[in-house]
Amino acid sequence: MTISAPWRHSWFHSVVALALWASTVGLAGCSGPASALRGGVADILMEEATNGLLIRLVGAGGNRESVSVIRSPRNWLLVTINDADVDLSRIRTLKPAGRVTKVDITLFETAVQVGFRFSEPISSFEIVEDRPRNDLLVSVFLGSQ
């Protein structure tokens, strides 16, 4: 795992900055400027599946507009949580496992971005709400489908 400073420049961080900008101006699936998460994000959990991975944003349910997800080259999936009350001590413990080969966390002034690098190409992804548990789920489908 790598904790990156916002001023460190690389291709990855340029993509991150572009995604953050796009989500705050309403270009990345948001309906407008990101609003604060009511409950925040208490944890991020990863669950392996036969055809991919399920990423659970614990406590982020009901706030779909505050989370953006983009697929980038080299098998990266970038999950940006805008204006969130995030438990960084929990998120910093994310470790690569299974088909996740690297986890990269970038802290911004108003957002946290978690990048997941996969051992296989990402064929698609979907964001859904788990309302009974008040979580957001990012389903990541890997390989050729």
For 41-95, how does the pLDDT look when each residue is reduced to its tens digit (9 = 90+)? Answer: 888 899 999 999 999 988 887 778 888 999 998 999 999 988 877 777 887 788 8
The DSSP string of 20-72 is: HHHHHTT-SS-SSSPPPPSS-B-EEEEEEETTEEEEEEET-TT-GGGEEEEEE
In this structure, are residues 79 and 42 in contact, taking their beta carbons and an 8 Å threshold? Answer: no
pTM above 0.75, yes or no: no
Give the Cα separation of 77 and 114 in Å (integer): 8
| Sequence ranges of the domains in the chain | 2-142
Q: What local confidence, expressed as pLDDT, does residue 145 receive?
A: 54
Instruction: Kindly state the average pLDDT of the residues 20-27.
Output: 43
- DSSP letter, residue 143: S
User: Which is more confidently placed, 24 or 76?
Assistant: 76
CATH topology of domain 2-142: Immunoglobulin-like (2.60.40)
Give the Cα separation of 109 and 6 in Å (integer): 9
